[in-house]
Amino acid sequence: MDTTKTDALDKAATDPETQDSTESTDSTATAADDQDAGVPAQGGIEPDARDEDGFDEDDLDDDPSGTQGATGVLAAAGSVVAVGLGISSLTGTWIGDLMKDREQLIGQIKTSGGSVQAQLAAGYGTPWHTVALFNGIFALVAILVAAVVLFRPGRPAAAGNHWSQALAWGGLILGVLGLLIAGVMWFDVFTDLPVVAATPQQ
């Protein structure tokens, strides 16, 4: 009886068809176990597969950090420019002084030999208004630049740009003050044109 079992085992081991059937059964069982364990079958691609580091190429398209960084730099630069223009509108600029001297020279040439009041108007009033005009222009530009930085469409929530926003508000305030002072100078609110008293005729 033992001899019969041994012959059957030897026949199964040497029979090719029996070996193929056994290997096919083992492969099917292994694939089923892998599928139950969540491991993708050989040659297949898992739909949500990522790299080993958990990096997805789609993240590059959805990451706007580069654009936000460039926008933040431009906003900071605009804030500094607004502050500089606001200060210039209060203290005056070299171009305003240059135009004032030019108007004074033109006034002296035009009114040479004229009345004293005409000379005062040409040598003092016109240059004064010229300075007010240029200071007002610088103030207006400062207000516009600061307004663009503060109220531009699509402005991202400032996470680390609090100093930039503060500078922009400072430039806006300085621009408003400069524009107000320029208006006072232009309309001679507190500084009227000097008047020469009439001398009695002898």
- On whether both 86 and 155 belong to a single domain, the answer is yes
The alpha carbons of the chain give a radius of gyration, in whole angstroms, of 43
Residue with tokens 């930039």: 164
Q: What is the pLDDT of residue 71?
A: 76
DSSP-assigned letter for residue 187: T
Residue 192 lies in a domain: no
Query: Which bin fits 70, alpha (ψ -120 to 50), beta or left (φ > 0)?
Result: alpha
How much of the chain is helix, strand and coil, in % rounded to 5? 70, 0, 30
pTM value > 0.75 = no
Residue with tokens 């993240």: 59
Structure tokens at 97: 């002084």
Residue 65 lies in a domain: no
- On whether both 95 and 178 belong to a single domain, the answer is yes
- Averaged confidence pLDDT in the chain: 74
Contacts of 140 (CB under 8 A, 6+ apart): 175, 179
Residue 170 lies in a domain: yes
Residue 60 lies in a domain: no
Closest CA to 78 of 135, 136, 158, 141: 141
Q: What is the pLDDT of residue 67?
A: 61
**Residue range 112-140, pLDDT digits in tens:** 777 878 888 888 888 999 999 999 999 99
- On whether both 81 and 136 belong to a single domain, the answer is yes
- On whether both 104 and 179 belong to a single domain, the answer is yes
Residue 93 lies in a domain: yes
**Residue range 32-45, pLDDT digits in tens:** 455 555 445 455 54
Q: 151-171 burial string, b = 16+ CB within 10 Å, else e?
A: eeeeeeeeeebeebbebbbbb
What's the domain count of the chain? 2
Rounded to an integer, the average pLDDT of 41-65 is: 49
- On whether both 160 and 96 belong to a single domain, the answer is yes
- On whether both 162 and 79 belong to a single domain, the answer is yes
Rounded to an integer, the average pLDDT of 5-29 is: 51
Residue 107 lies in a domain: yes
- On whether both 19 and 99 belong to a single domain, the answer is no
**Residue range 80-115, pLDDT digits in tens:** 999 999 999 999 999 999 999 999 888 888 887 778
- On whether both 152 and 81 belong to a single domain, the answer is yes
- On whether both 92 and 153 belong to a single domain, the answer is yes
- 12 lies in which domain range? 1-32
